A and B are shown apart, each in its own frame.
Chain A
Amino acid sequence: MNVKEWIKTLTFYEILLGMKATLSHLLKYRPITMQYPHEKKSLPSNYRGMLALLRYDDGTEKCVGCDLCEAACPSRVIRVVSAEVPGEPTKRYSKEYYMDMTRCLFCGLCVKACPVDALGMTQEFEWAVYDKRQLHLNKEQLLAIGDRAYPVREKRLEFQHPNVAYFNVGFKNIPEKDIQ
């Protein structure tokens, strides 16, 4: 045993070395635990939270009641009852739209399946309830979620692209388009 080692033993060098990270935290204190719900984490933009039904900028519902979300859903969350819009023959909409969120996997397949982007996944996740039945959402509830989660709305489909002549428009409501 040489002098160097003797000194290390006397000064508890190894212990200090091992405790280096611990001891440095003793000096530089930074808390890791997030004080939820007083503090909230920022979520990534593609976070798959609560589902919502969206509207166009003129306030009309985007959903055309095509049932494709129902077909895409792996856990049978969605039930769509589609019908003709009263007073606007040949226009299709979802008369009733239900989501049983107790079953939802938040896989996002319904959002992918939607041909008109009427479904969106929001950043909401605080949906703990005392009664599971409250998670059986109807169309109004889903639209309300969409309204608060997506304040910026898209233009109607036929105004988005010049070659969409019209899409799901009622009789005599085929829009005049100013497209060159």
Chain B
Amino acid sequence: MATTQETKPDLVTLTIDGKSARVPKGTLVIEAARQVGVMVPHFCYHPKLTPDANCRMCLVEIEKMPRLQTSCSTPVAEGMVVKSAKSDQVEAARKSVLDFILANHPLDCPVCDQGGRCDLQDFSHEYTATKSQFQELKRVFQKEYFSPLIETQMNRCVQCLRCVRYCDQVMDVKALAPVGRGTLTEIKAFGTHELDCEFCGGCVQICPVGAITSRMSMYEFRPWMLKRADSICGYCGDGCQITYQTKNNSLIEVSSTHGSGRNNGDLCARGYFGYHVSEHPERIQTPLIRQGETFQPAIWEEALEQVGQTLLAIKQQHGPDAIAGLITGRCTNEDLYVFQKFMRGVVGTNQIDSSVRYGHLNGVRALQRVQGTHRWTVSFDDIVEADVLLLVGTNVTETNPITGLKIKEAVKRKGAKLITIEALQPAVGTISNIVNLAHHHFGVRADGFQGAVLALMKSVLETRGMAEDVKASATAYGNDLMAQLSGLAWSRLENRTGYSLSDYGHAASTFCQGKKVVILVGQDVLRASGGYGMTMNLLDLLLLTGKLSNPGCGVAPLAEENNDQGAFEMGAVSDVLPGGFSIDHAESRTAVSKHWGRSIPDSSGGALPQFLERMQSGAIKALLVVGENPLGSLPPVSGIEQALEGLQLLVCQELFMTETARKAHVVLPVCSSAEKEGTFTNTEGHVQAVRKAVEPVGDGRPDWEIFSALSIIMGDSMEYGDVKEIGKEIRNVLPGIRPLGPTPIPSKPDAMVVCGYVGGEYRRDLDSRYRLIDEQPDFSDELLVSLRQSLFHSGKFSLKADGLLKVESEGKLYVHPDEAARRNIGEGDQVDLCNDRGTIRAKVGLRERIPMGMAVFPEHFDQEMRGLLSYAVDPETQVPYYKLAQARIVKV
């Protein structure tokens, strides 16, 4: 959006079927025709893909051109006269093209899942002669294998190669290939193995016929039976638009339309195949109250009364600060807002925290401190239009696949330069690897990002120096930072990262050439020790090169959960008010309390790590847990088990009986995101509407209703009629939260805050940020185990999704094949991982993308693995770091 069109594109005028069209130069005839409402039939053309012109369906007559032309590969020219529907010659050509295609297409429309929304069906009705001239037998392909998710029925294929091109050009996975020649061309995976890919479902969506269909919904529906609800995916922070398709109140499939949402119709495996989670049979149906060791089903009134009265009693006896709350960033903005209002206004404590604390807070806090915004200053469109992209610890394909697609588009189609600092190695695998596209790649271990970031900064500033205006206006800041960087010896940095001065030099010169530079910071950085400092350093880098305030430039921390960003903005963090203001800021506190008609406690409630201490010491008596599972995500070293044991009241609002819910006194069933209305804010800060697709399972209720009901029981009523009312209140309290719209308007850095930062605020932790952390003693027999997100799962939540479990159902310890060979381990071997915290057993998987000396374990299956993890808390942002462990590996 920030990209302003500098030069107005040349417009060309042409006539299509008598209609005059004015389109930019270079537009294809088929696109121009679409714009004036002339539909040219086509199979192989798709606006996302390069034209292939192999199906010949889009033939049109163009005056002064000798033969019929394929409109999908012919660019417009001034004065062109195109005839599509009004030409007999074209009509005849289309008829014969369809005759050729139908010569081999089995007429099994009745059993085909595409029947009813099939391009071939539609065009056949429009163009075919009812009788074919072909007498020969149709080709029949024998099937070799079945995929658990994506079913190919090659007899139906029209060989348009959309799927092959999509897989290569958009996804960069290259899992599909045309095998064979002529009409016997078959689309399959390379080699004889079965399809093993990212399972993004893109080929299913893009296939114009029923050759590639989803097995998850196979034969369960006909298109005309489906009811649609446009909503937002509830897994990662990318905030993809998805359309739930339901039949008789059950979810049948999910799709996304080209041109809609921030994802432009592209989805990942989680979005496309992960929707079964809300229909899982293990969903909690009714409120449950603990009686001894078991739970008894209860009615809402009973459960709420019990929670409300106990909370009141605790509040009266021990004060409001004996109650704390923890909410997940998977809730809607409305839920999060009502939750924090309930805790602050009704209970009277600031002791609330949310999953944004697990890492995203590092990024948001850094943005707030340097540029005064809590949102990105760029949008996905700026990523696509960027000249230079710097990825730091993103592992973007697996954590934020759709952001990954934007990067791929920028690099592959728009020629952006990509610099990556990742705990990944370039290697071809079954899923795409972003570092394969990198122009400059620095592969480090998961604990070595800081060295590479500092080295790159040093190189940029030493070779190019800082920007003139920074030198002039913020001399002290510039000099201090230069001094810090020159204090780092090149020899140390080279040793630490394994890359030489000249490697950094090349990357630095690429970086400096960029006019639009976007730096993406991912989970590997934000969730590991020093994450906050590194994000600050990267912001410093942009500041020093004078790019921070340029349009199209910015640092973009990637959120893991779908509404982490919203959780921060709604104030579901102890020291943050709605709108991202600090709780210490008296003015905003007054403003918000005026809106609420309730006073807001002024003491900061501390963060999750402090809650744990206070729960252990007995200062906190009651904990409300909303969709969070601290027992399942925090390592035992954090003391979470002991903390929960001492509680008088543990209330869980959950979809499933999680580890934490099993310890609860009262469990309340809630709605999944497919069952409620609201809004999600995605990682770029775009607020999007979530719509209800199915009725809640059992007695489930939206979370905000529960807080509202509790507030009435506690005698301080906070009533809302529906979600829209909460939305109105949010917009009143936070005029800054922008209205729903198709595209976000990125924030701009606040000049006052930037001035304040360069004017001296930066000094506070300068030394610690620019001090290279002490090197871990390198034991050659030890591995650095990193818990990382897998492409096929999101938190523990997706472990209930049937489709995703079919792709990945167990956690494996992934290591590089050379590393495994060095240790004499093979694929599938059982190994023991041990360190001084314990020993656990794991199965080994080999992946060439994992750097040497490192092992990766998917965090979703980490139940036992958590026993090995180290635990530290960031002094500045109170983010608990627990994703890394140093362990010996012993073959069993």
Contact = CB atoms under 8 A, between A and B. Distances in A.
Contact of B143 (A163, A168, A172): A172
A165 B106 CA distance: 7
A66 B137 contact: no
B720 interface: no
B104 to A, nearest CB: 8
A67 B116 CA distance: 11
Interface string A168-180: 1001101000010
A55 B110 CA distance: 17
A163 B151 CA distance: 25
A84 B140 contact: no
B224 interface: yes
Contacts of A167: 106-108, 111
Contact of A171 (B138, B139, B143, B219): B143
B222 to A, nearest CB: 5
A163 B111 contact: no
Contacts of A104: none
Contacts of A171: 143, 146
B137 A165 contact: yes
A162 B137 contact: yes
A68 B110 contact: yes
A174 B106 contact: no
Contacts of B134: 163
B221 to A, nearest CB: 8
A166 B106 contact: yes
Contact of B146 (A64, A68, A89, A179): A89
A65 interface: yes
Interface string B145-156: 010000101010
A124 B677 CA distance: 52
Interface in B126-149: 134-140, 142-143, 146
A64 B137 CA distance: 23
A84 B219 contact: yes
Contacts of B142: 172, 174
Contact of A92 (B111, B138, B225): B111
A167 B105 CA distance: 11
Nearest to A90: B153
A179 B134 CA distance: 16
Counting chain A CB atoms within 10 Å of each CB, which of B107, B110, B140, B143 scores highest?
Answer: B110
A6 B707 CA distance: 110
A174 B153 contact: no
A165 B222 contact: no
B143 A166 contact: no
Nearest to B135: A163
Nearest to A68: B110
B719 interface: no
B250 to A, nearest CB: 12
B220 interface: yes
Contacts of B140: 165-166, 174
A90 B151 CA distance: 8
A74 interface: no
B97 interface: no
Interface in B77-114: 106-111
A71 B221 CA distance: 12
A115 interface: yes
Contact of B222 (A71, A84, A162, A166): A71
Contact of B220 (A68, A82, A165, A166): A82
A83 interface: yes
B110 A90 contact: no
Nearest to A64: B111
Contacts of A68: 110
B218 interface: yes
A116 interface: yes
B479 to A, nearest CB: 70
Interface string A3-40: 00000000000000000000000000000000000000
Interface in B709-766: none
Contacts of A65: 111, 219
Contacts of A166: 106, 140, 155
Contacts of B108: 167-168
Contact of B111 (A71, A89, A168): A168
B220 A163 contact: no
Given A64-B110, A67-B225, A165 B153 contact: no
Nearest to B108: A167
A167 B112 CA distance: 10
Nearest to B104: A165
Interface string A37-66: 000000000000000000000000000111
A84 B151 CA distance: 12
Contact of B224 (A66, A71, A83, A90): A71
A8 to B, nearest CB: 71
Contacts of A174: 140, 142
A165 B138 contact: yes
A83 B219 contact: yes
Contacts of A172: 142-143
B589 to A, nearest CB: 58
B128 to A, nearest CB: 15
Contacts of A162: 137
A126 B135 CA distance: 47
Counting chain A CB atoms within 10 Å of each CB, which of B108, B143, B224 scores highest?
Answer: B108
A85 to B, nearest CB: 9
A166 B138 CA distance: 9
B155 A165 contact: yes
A109 to B, nearest CB: 16
Nearest to A171: B143
A174 B107 CA distance: 15
Contacts of A164: 106-107
Given A66-B111, A92-B111, A172-B142, A83 B137 contact: no
Given A165-B140, A166-B106, A167-B108, A82 B224 contact: no
A89 B144 CA distance: 12
Counting chain B CB atoms within 10 Å of each CB, which of A67, A71, A116, A168 scores highest?
Answer: A67
A71 B137 CA distance: 32
A98 to B, nearest CB: 14
Given A64-B111, A83-B219, A165 B139 contact: yes
Interface in A94-121: 115-116
Contacts of A82: 219-220
A66 B222 CA distance: 8
Interface in A126-142: none
Contacts of B151: 89-90
A167 B138 CA distance: 12
Contacts of B136: 163
Contacts of B219: 65, 82-84, 92
Counting chain B CB atoms within 10 Å of each CB, which of A89, A165, A168, A174 scores highest?
Answer: A165
A149 to B, nearest CB: 23
Nearest to B145: A171
A167 to B, nearest CB: 5
A166 B224 CA distance: 26
Contacts of B139: 165
B138 to A, nearest CB: 4
Contacts of A92: 111, 219
A64 B112 CA distance: 10
Contacts of A165: 106, 137-140, 155
Nearest to A162: B137
A84 B225 contact: no
Contacts of A90: 143, 146, 151, 153
A179 B137 contact: yes
26 contacts: A64-B110, A65-B111, A65-B219, A66-B115, A66-B222, A67-B225, A68-B110, A71-B222, A82-B219, A89-B151, A92-B111, A92-B219, A164-B106, A165-B138, A165-B139, A165-B140, A166-B106, A166-B140, A166-B155, A167-B106, A167-B107, A167-B108, A168-B111, A171-B143, A174-B140, A174-B142
List 3 tightest A-B contacts by C-beta distance, closest first: A66-B110, A165-B138, A92-B111
Given A83-B219, A163-B135, A172-B143, 4 more contacts: A66-B111, A167-B107, A168-B110, A179-B137
